[in-house]
């Protein structure tokens, strides 16, 4: 069983601040983390390896600093790690990103067959959930999105059974490997790597591939050139024109506050009063 | 790859010659087991405006099994603003599966060549949109909150939140067609259905045989929705935040909700603390809601919360801090301790409603 897990290094958005005057993003000192959703994908691949044996390869497309994210994955137990990194990738949208990643995965296949590809549900920065479906289509793999449970894998028969979160319920799907799974959050819990893996992760020789090494001959397929979408502007949400109308009573007595509020709201929104009465009585 | 590298560009870009004849606005009408996802109607409402701005037709795409109410769904789509519907019904399309649906929609696009194609950002819509866009090799903008036509170029300018909502960005697909976008449920307003409005149904044959499709649906286990909150479609929501202080106090939120027949919502810290279920989280990583009334108690109004509830008709905020950001966009504000103001509000509503009942 060989699983390839796609991970992305993202800024810890909980710590991103927007500059109050210039409205630009202040990234200084914002730590880079593994996209949290991708850890569910990695853990699921590691569990299958525990169960069935095999290999787990992690791959990311990103700047040289993304190496740290890959080493972290090795410390959790991944066997091998590949960073595809080239200035030519800068500005890639999801179409170009899935192109680059699928080319690199094809390159991996030259050495070892790939049975499963795992991605996270989405990232916390781009947040599009489009890269997983994109890779599957480009490799002509069966696509299983929002998988909540890998029920069973049968490597001999090349069969896999999963539960998928659908609209209004759960689908139990059976398909053949190779296939691509986007893993739903909260489906498992990332293990702590053991000491051996920690040492191995530090020493491991990462593969770093530039565009050609990743098997991409045409530079027009990646980066800004390979991206149909173009960001035309970035701006801050505009504040509502009016601040809230503040309800005040002379001693701040809650009862009077409540009665004053109700009188005001219902005078200005008589329909709302009817609506509430209709529902509540 | 990195947003730094993706510098805004102003330069005018020409459409590739193979796409110049692409026309009309399409909405993929999402239905499963005969039920149409309301986001599809919301998209028709939005699509109507785009089609009018471009002077073209608005078309719905209905893909379903032969036993389902395909024609009836087209009829509803006309009432919500569609001029035309493409209807594909086949056995292999009965349950949603990526492979046949991707082929159905991709073939349709290649044959009839729309300039804009919109889908709901639901689990189905995101699965399908990403696959279709890649197969067509076109751009797809995810989770848009605003769609407008750039009248100079006829291009679609799609605006979406970035970095958890702290900023917005406008994205265009200038050289490729169709221009694709997904929109989350409840972000756009539900249009009024216009009874008697009619349109043209174009039935399209679909030829894919079951044996050629690798993925099989063995079973569908419907959600038990009896006790599940349905926040996106609630008319009244009472929501509590970290300012409620603890789970015990959070019952004040429930008390008011009960009197108003409202749903209970929560900010993320409340869900993380376990005072409320995940289904009740409102915001960027939770639900988008559009109630007639939203009461926010002990919620600061962080942008990630705001993007999920900004569309409410009336917002009442209770916060102990007069400078809390929520007062910048709420309609009514009370500066005070939510743990005393909420019970007072509950009482005031209760007696007001009782009075209304008496006077009829
Ligand atoms: C503010 C902003 C808005 C954007 N909006 C759009 C848009 O609307 N449409 C569009 O096409 N592009 C958009 N992009 C570009 C997009 O974010 C990049 O293409 C990005 O490289 C991948 O998309 P994502 O982060 O949305 O990933 P998602 O599609 O959400 O990621 C899904 C999974 O794919 C895998 N994955 C994603 N990226 C990588 C990677 N670099 N290496 C390895 N695995 C990866 C991970 O497993 C991840 O969990 C936007 C970028 C920014 C910064
Ligand atoms: C990627 C990302 C996604 C996110 N998604 C979401 C999301 O979907 N939904 C969401 O809600 N958040 C989300 N957040 C978190 C968001 O940034 C805020 O941290 C969160 O909304 C704050 O919740 P809060 O207002 O309850 O708590 P706080 O910000 O701690 O505010 C508590 C408020 O209560 C007031 N208060 C204190 N005591 C009282 C009292 N006795 N009476 C009245 N008021 C009182 C305080 O003045 C304060 O304004 C997200 C963050 C990130 C980074």
CA-CA-CA-CA torsion sign (A36, A41, A44, A49): negative
Q: What percent of chain B has pLDDT over 70?
A: 96
Nearest CA-CA partner of B89 in B142, B136, B29, B135: B29
Which range among A13-22, A34-43, A142-151 shows the weakest confidence by mean pLDDT?
Answer: A13-22
User: Which residues in chain A are closer than 8 Å to B171, comparing Cβ atoms?
Assistant: 229-232
Residue B64 binned pLDDT confidence (cut-offs 50, 70, 90): very high
Residue B5 binned pLDDT confidence (cut-offs 50, 70, 90): very low
The reported pLDDT for the residue numbered B168 is 87
B360 close to A (CB below 8 A):
no
A25 and A131 together in one domain: yes
- pLDDT, one tens digit per residue, over B153-192 is 999 999 998 776 678 899 999 999 999 999 999 999 999 9
Residue B3 binned pLDDT confidence (cut-offs 50, 70, 90): very low
Q: B335 a known binding residue?
A: no
Topology of the domain covering B17-212: Rossmann fold (3.40.50)
Task: Please state the rounded mean pLDDT for residues B139-146.
Answer: 96
SS3 content of chain A, % helix, strand, coil (to 5): 35, 30, 35
Which residue ranges make up each domain of chain B?
17-212, 231-359
CATH 3.40.50.1220 given to domain B231-359 = yes
Given this chain, do its domains B17-212 and B231-359 carry the same CATH topology? yes
The reported pLDDT for the residue numbered B2 is 45
Which three-class secondary structure state does DSSP give residue B39? helix
C-alpha to C-alpha distance for A210 and A213, rounded to whole angstroms: 5
- pLDDT, one tens digit per residue, over B83-93 is 999 999 999 99
Cross-chain residue pair A228–B139, CB shorter than 8 Å: yes
Nearest CA-CA partner of A34 in A68, A63, A64, A5: A68
Q: Does the structure show a pLDDT above 60 at B6?
A: no
A143 and A272 together in one domain: no
Please state, as a whole number, how many other Cβ atoms lie within 10 Å of the Cβ of residue A169: 16
Task: Please state the rounded mean pLDDT for residues B33-48.
Answer: 95
Which range among A185-194, A199-208, B271-280, B327-336 shows the weakest confidence by mean pLDDT?
Answer: A185-194
Nearest Cα residue to atom 11 of ligand 2: B267
A192 close to B (CB below 8 A):
no
Give one word for A77, left, alpha or beta, with left for phi > 0 and alpha for psi -120 to 50. left
Q: Is residue A247 part of a domain?
A: yes
Q: Does the structure show a pLDDT above 50 at B1?
A: no
B226 close to A (CB below 8 A):
no
Q: Which residues pair with B223 in a beta bridge?
A: none
Give B154's Cβ-side CA count (13 Å radius): 20
Q: Is residue A233 part of a domain?
A: no
Residue B8 binned pLDDT confidence (cut-offs 50, 70, 90): low
- pLDDT, one tens digit per residue, over B108-118 is 999 999 999 99
A246 and A166 together in one domain: no
Helix H or strand E encompassing A36: helix A36-52
Pocket lining: A123 vs ligand 1, CB cutoff 6 Å: yes
Cross-chain residue pair A231–B171, CB shorter than 8 Å: yes
Pocket lining: B244 vs ligand 2, CB cutoff 6 Å: no
Preferred mutation among A87, A230, A267 to probe B, highest tally of B CBs within 10 A:
A230
A158 and A243 together in one domain: no
Could you give the number of structural domains in chain A?
Answer: 2
CATH of the domain at A158: 3.40.50.620
Pocket lining: B142 vs ligand 1, CB cutoff 6 Å: yes
Task: Please state the rounded mean pLDDT for residues B188-215.
Answer: 96
Residue with tokens 């291009």: B155
C-alpha to C-alpha distance for B67 and A255, rounded to whole angstroms: 58
C-alpha to C-alpha distance for B43 and A240, rounded to whole angstroms: 24
Question: Which of residues A188, A221, A254 is at a domain's end?
Answer: A221
Q: Does the structure show a pLDDT above 80 at B262?
A: yes
Q: B299 a known binding residue?
A: yes
Question: Which chain A residue lies closest to B157 (C-alpha atoms)?
Answer: A232
Q: B267 a known binding residue?
A: yes
Q: Does the structure show a pLDDT above 90 at B225?
A: no
Question: Which chain B residue lies closest to A137 (C-alpha atoms)?
Answer: B131
Query: Which among A97, A257, A261 has CB closest to B1?
Result: A97
A92 and A141 together in one domain: yes
C-alpha to C-alpha distance for A43 and A30, rounded to whole angstroms: 25
Task: Please state the rounded mean pLDDT for residues A213-218.
Answer: 96
Q: Which residues pair with B29 in a beta bridge?
A: B62
* Dist. CA A266 → ligand 1 center (Å): 46
The reported pLDDT for the residue numbered A22 is 61
User: Which residues in chain B are closer than 8 Å to A246, comparing Cβ atoms?
Assistant: 327, 332-335
Residue with tokens 């028709």: B44
Task: Please state the rounded mean pLDDT for residues B213-222.
Answer: 95
Phi and psi at B256, nearest 5°, equal -65, -40
Structural domain boundaries, residue A85: 2-221
Pocket lining: B281 vs ligand 2, CB cutoff 6 Å: yes
A148 and A276 together in one domain: no
B106 close to A (CB below 8 A):
no
Phi and psi at A116, nearest 5°, equal -135, 140
A263 and A129 together in one domain: no
Helix (DSSP H) and strand (DSSP E) numbers for chain A? 7, 15
Phi and psi at B148, nearest 5°, equal -135, 155
- pLDDT, one tens digit per residue, over A53-99 is 999 999 999 999 999 999 999 999 999 999 999 999 999 999 999 99
CA dist B213 → A175, B93, B133, B216, B238 (Å): 9, 11, 20, 8, 47
């Amino acid at each position: 069983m060989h699983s390839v897990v796609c991970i992305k290094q993202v800024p810890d958005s909980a710590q991103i601040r927007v500059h109050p005057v210039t409205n630009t993003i202040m990234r200084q000192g914002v730590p880079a983390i593994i996209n949290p959703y991708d850890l569910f994908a990695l853990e699921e691949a590691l569990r299958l390896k525990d169960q069935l044996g095999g290999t787990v390869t992690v791959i990311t497309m990103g700047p040289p600093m993304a190496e740290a994210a890959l080493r972290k994955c090795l410390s959790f137990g991944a066997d091998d790690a590949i960073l595809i990194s080239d200035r030519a990738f800068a500005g890639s949208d999801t179409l170009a990103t899935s192109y680059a990643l699928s080319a690199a995965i094809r390159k991996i296949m030259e050495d070892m067959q790939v049975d499963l590809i795992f991605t996270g549900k989405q990232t916390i920065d781009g947040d599009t959930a489009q890269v997983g479906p994109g890779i599957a289509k480009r490799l002509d793999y069966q696509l299983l999105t929002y998988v909540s449970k890998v029920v069973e894998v049968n490597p001999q028969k090349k069969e896999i059974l999963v539960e998928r979160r659908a609209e209004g319920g759960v689908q139990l799907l059976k398909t053949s490997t190779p296939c691509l799974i986007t893993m739903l959050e909260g489906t498992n819990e990332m293990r702590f790597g053991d000491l051996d893996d920690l040492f191995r992760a530090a020493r491991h020789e990462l593969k770093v591939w530039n565009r050609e090494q990743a098997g991409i001959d045409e530079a027009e397929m990646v980066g800004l050139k390979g991206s149909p979408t173009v960001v035309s502007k970035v701006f801050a949400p505009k504040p509502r024109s009016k601040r809230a109308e503040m309800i005040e009573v002379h001693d701040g007595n809650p009862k009077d506050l409540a009665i004053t509020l109700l009188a005001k709201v219902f005078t200005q929104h008589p329909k709302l009063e009817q609506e509430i009465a209709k529902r509540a009585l | 790859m990195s947003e730094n590298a993706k510098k805004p560009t102003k330069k005018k870009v020409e459409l590739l010659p193979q796409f110049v004849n692409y026309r009309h606005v399409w909405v993929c009408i999402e239905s499963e087991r005969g039920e149409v996802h309301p986001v599809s109607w919301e998209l028709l409402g939005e699509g109507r405006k785009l089609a009018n701005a471009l002077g073209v037709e608005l078309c719905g795409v209905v893909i379903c099994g032969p036993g389902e109410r395909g024609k009836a769904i087209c009829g509803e789509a006309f009432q919500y603003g569609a001029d035309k519907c493409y209807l594909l019904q086949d056995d292999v399309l009965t349950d949603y599966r990526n492979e046949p649906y991707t082929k159905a929609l991709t073939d349709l696009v290649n044959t009839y060549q729309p300039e804009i194609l919109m889908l709901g950002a639901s689990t189905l819509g995101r699965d399908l949109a990403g696959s279709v866009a890649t197969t067509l090799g076109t751009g797809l903008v995810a989770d848009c909150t605003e769609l407008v036509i750039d009248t100079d170029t006829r291009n679609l300018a799609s605006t979406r939140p970035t970095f958890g909502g702290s900023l917005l960005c406008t994205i265009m697909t200038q050289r490729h067609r169709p221009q694709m976008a997904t929109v989350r449920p409840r972000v756009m307003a539900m249009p009024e259905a216009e009874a008697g409005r009619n349109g043209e149904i174009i039935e399209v044959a679909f030829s894919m045989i079951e044996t050629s499709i690798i993925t099989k649906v063995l079973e569908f286990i419907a959600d038990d929705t009896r006790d599940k909150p349905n926040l996106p479609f609630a008319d009244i929501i009472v929501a509590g935040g970290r300012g409620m202080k603890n789970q015990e106090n959070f019952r004040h939120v429930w008390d008011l909700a009960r009197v108003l027949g409202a749903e209970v919502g929560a900010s993320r810290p409340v869900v993380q603390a376990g005072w409320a279920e995940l289904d009740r989280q409102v915001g960027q990583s939770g639900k988008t809601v559009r109630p007639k009334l939203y009461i926010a108690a002990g919620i600061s109004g962080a942008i990630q919360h705001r993007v999920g509830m900004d569309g409410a008709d009336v917002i009442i905020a209770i916060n102990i801090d007069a400078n809390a950001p929520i007062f910048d966009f709420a309609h009514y504000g009370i500066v005070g301790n939510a743990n005393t103001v909420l019970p007072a509000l509950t009482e005031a509503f209760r007696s007001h409603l009782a009075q209304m009942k008496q006077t009829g």
